[in-house]
Structure 1
Amino acid sequence: MKALTLSADWVPKPGYDLTASERELRRPRNANMVWRSPRLSLGDAPDPSLLPDQVMLEVAAVGICGSDMHMYEAGADGYMIYPGLVCTPNILGHEFAGRIIEVGKAVRGLRVGDLVAVEEIQWCGQCTACRRGFVNHCLDIEEIGFTIPGAMAQYLPVRAKYCWKLDEIAAAYGEEEALIMGAMVEPTGVSYQGLFNRLHNWLPGNNVVIFGAGPIGLAAQALVIAAGAGRVIVFDPSTSRREIAMKMGASAALDPRDIDLDAAIMQYTLGRGVDYVVECAGFADKTIEPLDRCLAVNASIIDIGMGGDNPTLPIVAYKRMGVQYAGSLGHAGGPFQQVIRMMASGRIDMRQMVSARMPLDDAVAAFKRLESRQDAKIILQPN
């Protein structure tokens, strides 16, 4: 089958203390400390085989995520930008939907022909974190497109327990559009997890600031608007992405460069400040760190983006104002059902952020195109 593979050189940075497991498995938890000179290649890969608890997908749509870009791009030192768990060589792609073409003998509840979206986080269900309900923090985690083969390929076997059927979306929009929308369930689920499952304190009428108008940020915007937000202010340096944010209903979309973020937020909230800050850009040192007087009493900060340097936070100001800060990693299975229902009902339509649908043959060109950050989302269609 045809597939897009990420490769890089194993060159641990001086002073980075590899664990025995990282060294043995060549699976560092901090990819930006080990993998150098990342690169992409499109070519043939072995056809996958099926285990009894898996279904085989003919991949119909797969999105290029900011994390994919950060695995592909290198910093000034030549090392991968992405700071998380990565194995190479590996097939990329973790935001996807497909049609089931084969079912393992132990699978129940799914059949050939079903359209499904699939969880990226492959949780074990047995470790302490999973048993406590924090499956996105699984202690024995695998991640599609990061540590195990992903969906930028024609076919992919996945365990049935990670699949969510797209019947409701297909009934409303037809199968072709359901598969495109299905590829955006995962990134929208990441935003849902951060907004509604981390602090459990969302209130309609909240003034919201979102940093980053890429897929995660635009998904966060769509979700808070659907959930009754007051003013929604989006920051992104890309003119085209700001235009998309405005098209999708933002109250304001601003370039964060060379402005006083505190002053701008106070201006656009009429002096009332922000209740919910959502970091989706992956540069908390440049987005969250400067915020102080714009934070309303009892404000919440949800840090989703991965990348950049660790921020230095004004903890005294947080204490004075009762600010709550929560990191949010990936998704758990529950948001998939909620996101699918919101898409099917028309409450959110993430197709508005798709700037191009391209064949897998053009995958390398699509990554090059995204380097400028002018597109919000490109969908690859492997079949």
Structure 2
Amino acid sequence: MKAAVLQGTKQIEVVELNVDSLSPNEVLVKVKSCGICGTDQHIYHGHPGSAAVHPPIVLGHELAGEVEEVGSEVSTLKKGDRVSIDPNIYCGTCKYCRRNQAHLCNNLQAVGVTRNGGMGEYCTVPEGNCYQISDEMTFEEAALVEPLGCVLHGFKKIQFSPLNKVLIIGGGFIGQLFLQLVKSQQVDAIIVSEPAENKREMLYQLGADRVVHPMDASGIEADVVIECVGRQDTMELAVQAANKGGQVLLFGVSAPDTNISVAPFDIFTKELVIKGSFINPFTHEEAIKLIEKKVVDVQSLISHRFTKEELPVAMENFQSLNIVKAIVKH
């Protein structure tokens, strides 16, 4: 098969690979669509993903396709089934898995991170990581179930009230997903901090009451602050902007060596609740339903589509291309 392989830091090559052998409990998926995640960019620049990455590896943990072949012990899927993939594979035996915190698994594996993923023509996936989708759902929508599932996990950590003013820091793809979910809560107001002018119209269409440039966000106060960028300045802003009794969700993926400066006195006197959110523990099925029922629109958020052959250049120039959400065409 043809696949885009990460050979090392900032090195992607499109090469011919043998299809990975199929274990008894796995299925072979013919990939129809694969999203390019911000985490893929982190991995491309030499940082870890949800787990450590050891090139050479085929990236792509947001994927969907058709079942091409099933292993000898597979009982719930058959050739031709349309599936969306939850990439995360838990060991089931570590203390976190046994405490119903499987996403914190000490032995976490993931399709497109620790094993070959969706930037190839085919991908082998455990049966339990495949979720069947309806004929009405597009494969592009199905590939974007995974990031919505991650957002849903973070979203569930927040308690919303109709009295809340909500600040979303970062109006990219993840911020746009959070915006749609927060809009469904009938909060008092939603403000989005986003520097890119080309995103403003979409943010208003999705339900923002106000969109501000980050330079103008320093005086804003909010009851709920959702940080979707992962930079030092935006994470510090998230804590500073929180009202007394406020909730702060740090969702954006930062570089491992990023540190922020926070005054503990502010956390104490404002009695803030600050939470993190990591991957998507068993939210995949619910995310599928949110897309099917049109509660969340992911299709219209796609800004770019690349072939595998275009990936090396696209990954190198990702920031300058003004990408909101990109898909690998198959």
**Amino acid of the structure 2 residue aligned with 1:193:** H
2:101 counterpart of 1:131: no
Equivalent-residue separation in structure 1 for 2:153 and 2:238 (angstroms): 23
1:61 to 29, 33, 39: 33
Distance 1:294 1:281, change over 3 A: closer
Deviations 1:223-246 (A, max 9, x none): 111233332222233332344323
Equivalent-residue separation in structure 1 for 2:240 and 2:253 (angstroms): 25
Q: CA deviation at 1:306?
A: 1.5
Q: CA deviation at 1:87?
A: 1.6
Match of residue 327 from structure 1: 276
2:323 counterpart of 1:380: no
TM-score (norm 2): 0.92
Select between 205-214 and 181-190 the one with higher mean Cα deviation.
205-214
Query: What pairs up with 1:344-359 in 2 under 5 angstroms?
Result: 344-359=292-307
Helix, strand or coil: the match of 2:237? coil
Equivalent-residue separation in structure 1 for 2:223 and 2:321 (angstroms): 28
Query: What pairs up with 1:46-125 in 2 under 5 angstroms?
Result: 46-73=18-45, 80-81=46-47, 85-125=52-92
Equivalent-residue separation in structure 1 for 2:163 and 2:75 (angstroms): 43
Indicate conservation of the 8 Å contact 2:226/2:238, yes or no.
Answer: no
2:289 counterpart of 1:341: yes
**Amino acid of the structure 2 residue aligned with 1:294:** A
Match of residue 126 from structure 2: 159
Calculate percent identity across the aligned residue pairs: 28
Deviations 1:322-356 (A, max 9, x none): 210111111111x1111111111111111121013
Equivalent-residue separation in structure 2 for 1:331 and 1:140 (angstroms): 16
Match of residue 237 from structure 2: 290
Match of residue 6 from structure 1: 6
Equivalent-residue separation in structure 1 for 2:80 and 2:198 (angstroms): 37
Query: What pairs up with 1:140-219 in 2 under 5 angstroms?
Result: 140-167=107-134, 170=135, 174=136, 177-196=137-156, 198=157, 201-219=159-177
**Amino acid of the structure 2 residue aligned with 1:108:** S
Indicate conservation of the 8 Å contact 1:213/1:245, yes or no.
Answer: yes
Helix, strand or coil: the match of 1:290? helix
| Aligned-residue CA RMSD (Å) | 2.0
Helix, strand or coil: the match of 1:232? strand
Indicate conservation of the 8 Å contact 1:93/1:151, yes or no.
Answer: yes
Unpaired runs of at least 5, structure 1: 9-36, 74-79, 266-272
Indicate conservation of the 8 Å contact 2:242/2:248, yes or no.
Answer: no
Deviations 1:167-223 (A, max 9, x none): 2xx3xxx3xx52110111111111111110x35x23355322222223222211121
Equivalent-residue separation in structure 2 for 1:358 and 1:352 (angstroms): 16
**Amino acid of the structure 2 residue aligned with 1:221:** L
Q: CA deviation at 1:82?
A: 5.2
Query: What pairs up with 1:11-50 in 2 under 5 angstroms?
Result: 37-50=9-22
Equivalent-residue separation in structure 1 for 2:318 and 2:139 (angstroms): 22
Q: CA deviation at 1:111?
A: 1.9
TM-score (norm 1): 0.80
Indicate conservation of the 8 Å contact 1:82/1:306, yes or no.
Answer: no
Distance 1:373 1:230, change over 3 A: farther
Indicate conservation of the 8 Å contact 1:82/1:307, yes or no.
Answer: no
Indicate conservation of the 8 Å contact 2:224/2:247, yes or no.
Answer: yes
Equivalent-residue separation in structure 2 for 1:288 and 1:374 (angstroms): 22
Indicate conservation of the 8 Å contact 1:360/1:380, yes or no.
Answer: yes
Query: What pairs up with 1:224-235 in 2 under 5 angstroms?
Result: 224-235=182-193
2:228 counterpart of 1:261: no
Match of residue 32 from structure 1: none
How many residues are aligned here? Answer: 327
Q: CA deviation at 1:293?
A: 5.8
Deviations 1:58-115 (A, max 9, x none): 1011011111112223xxxxxx355762221111101111111111121122222221
2:220 counterpart of 1:220: no
Equivalent-residue separation in structure 1 for 2:70 and 2:10 (angstroms): 35
Indicate conservation of the 8 Å contact 2:11/2:312, yes or no.
Answer: no
Q: CA deviation at 1:320?
A: 1.3
Indicate conservation of the 8 Å contact 2:103/2:278, yes or no.
Answer: yes
Distance 1:357 1:214, change over 3 A: same
Equivalent-residue separation in structure 2 for 1:112 and 1:242 (angstroms): 43
**Amino acid of the structure 1 residue aligned with 2:146:** E
Indicate conservation of the 8 Å contact 1:289/1:314, yes or no.
Answer: no
Q: CA deviation at 1:292?
A: 5.5
Select between 86-95 and 237-246 the one with higher mean Cα deviation.
237-246
2:313 counterpart of 1:365: yes
Helix, strand or coil: the match of 2:236? coil
**Amino acid of the structure 1 residue aligned with 2:281:** A
Equivalent-residue separation in structure 1 for 2:125 and 2:260 (angstroms): 37
Equivalent-residue separation in structure 1 for 2:98 and 2:142 (angstroms): 28
